[in-house]
Amino acid sequence: MLDHRTKAQLRALLYPVQFEQQPELGIERVLRMVVGRNTLQTTPSDYLRAIRLALESRDEKLAEIIPHTLSEAAIRAYLQQLSNRLAGATVTAAAAAPFAKP
Amino acid sequence: MPDLRRFFTRLISAVQQQWRAAGGRYRVTPLQPLYVGEDVPGNDIFDGSYVTYLSEAGRQLHALTFFSGRICDAYGNLFDTTDAESLHTGFGRAIFVMDADGNFYASKEQTYGMFHHSSLVAGGPVAAAGEIEVIDGVLTALSDRSGHYMPRQSFTDQAIDQLKKKNISFQGVKLDLIGRP
């Protein structure tokens, strides 16, 4: 069972693509408008953790976190792809950190 | 049976049109139950954030006005969404709502957990909600994408009806509709 904080983070990742037939096409928008703006005071690592918990939870109905027309499988596939992008971005940011301007 | 249903649907629609023509108000749909309480700091919906609800004075700054078939902002300048961004579509679209009196309000910014369609009407019901794309005052696209209201097709039809009354042309306008029954 996912806690409400994790569900709130997942809802943030699902909201922008809830009307998409192909949610993976909205990944850039989610990264820019939700993760990038940090409105829930949530870091990319927090979002990654939420996705990992969601994908590991086989009995949780992720499609019920927010109204969707998408199947459970489609949502899980989208979250997996988003996770891959987030992981890549996190690694890139960490690698660049020592060279970042103060 | 479907014929009977179609007959009554048309009858109701015709009565509503007559009613509106006589100065009646548009039907409204409420905020989705999931988001009730979103404006309260510390809510569970947007854990770590809360949604701004505009006051009446704040709402008027987001009002759309109409002149000679063009859409303008609250100050009478041609409305343009080129620099707008919505959560459900991205660049080039503003979010809008229409109230029961047929007034339109729009925002060129939508920020998750902070500013949504519901912000424009302080969480109240709407007669329509979605996105618009406007270039130099000319409507080029309209959608019914609103996660907070998820309006059925009949509500979007009300917005189209009202815009046509304001002499907004729908020639060449892209209708990007989910079309919920």
State how far the Cα of A57 lies from the Cα of A40, in Å rounded to an integer.
23
- Domain tally, chain A: 1
Mean pLDDT on B143-169: 97
Q: CB-based burial of residue A75 (10 Å sphere; 0-12 exposed, 13-18 middle, 19+ buried)?
A: buried
Q: Which of B22 and B84 is assigned the larger pLDDT?
A: B84
Summarize the confidence of residues B51-77 as an average pLDDT: 97
Asked whether the predicted pLDDT for residue A97 surpasses 80, the reply is no
User: How many other C-beta atoms lie within 10 A of the C-beta of residue A66?
Assistant: 19
Between these two residues, B138 and B13, which has the higher pLDDT value? B138
Residue B137 tokens, joined: 């005052």
> What's the confidence (pLDDT) of residue A101?
43
User: Does B67 touch chain A if contact means CB atoms closer than 8 Å?
Assistant: no
pLDDT in tens, B109-155: 999 999 999 999 999 999 999 999 999 999 999 999 999 999 999 99
* Closest CA–CA distance from residue A32 to any residue of chain B (Å): 10
Determine, yes or no, domain membership for B117: yes
For residue B1, pLDDT over 90 is answered with no
pLDDT score of B7 = 64
Check B150 against A67: CB less than 8 A apart: yes
- Band of the pLDDT at B168, cuts 50, 70, 90? very high
Domain with B34, as residue range(s), is: 26-176
Alpha carbon distance B126, B29 (integer Å) = 5
Of B47, B90, B178, the CB nearest to A19: B178
Q: How far apart, in whole angstroms, are the C-alpha atoms of residue A79 and residue B113?
A: 20
Mean pLDDT of chain B: 92
The two tokens of residue B67 are 């002149």
Contacts with B104 (C-beta within 8 Å, 6 or more apart), sequence order: B63, B64, B96, B97, B98, B159, B162, B163
Q: What Å distances lie between residue B56 and B3, B39, B59, B94, CA to CA? A: 45, 16, 5, 20
The DSSP call for residue B81 is -
**Cβ within 8 Å, pair A33-B178:** no
- pLDDT bracket for residue A102 (50, 70, 90): very low
Average pLDDT over residues B53-73: 97
Tell me whether residue B20 is in a domain.
no
| Yes or no, beta carbons of A8 and B150 under 8 Å apart | no
Q: Is the dihedral of CA B150, B153, B158, B162 positive or negative?
A: positive
**Residue A14 has what pLDDT?**
96
Q: Which domain holds residue A79?
A: 4-94
pLDDT range class, residue B82, cuts 50, 70, 90 = very high
- The confidence band for A68, taking pLDDT boundaries of 50, 70 and 90, is confident
Phi then psi for residue B131, to 5 deg, are -130, 150
B112 vs A40: CB contact, 8 Å cut-off?
yes
Give the pLDDT confidence of A7-64 residue by residue, as tens digits: 999 999 999 999 999 999 999 999 999 999 888 889 999 999 999 999 999 888 998 8
Task: Kindly tell me if the per-residue pLDDT of B103 is higher than 60.
Answer: yes
pLDDT at B6 over 60: yes
**Tokens 């690592």 — which residue?**
A45
Give the per-residue pLDDT at A70: 86
The answer to whether residue B126 is domain-embedded is yes
Enumerate residues 47 to 66 of chain A having a beta carbon within 8 A of any beta carbon in chain B: 66
Where residue B47 falls among pLDDT bands split at 50, 70, 90? confident
pLDDT of A88 reads: 82
* Cα separation, B138 vs B169, whole angstroms: 8
Question: B170 in helix, strand or coil?
Answer: coil
| Domain count of the fold of chain B | 1
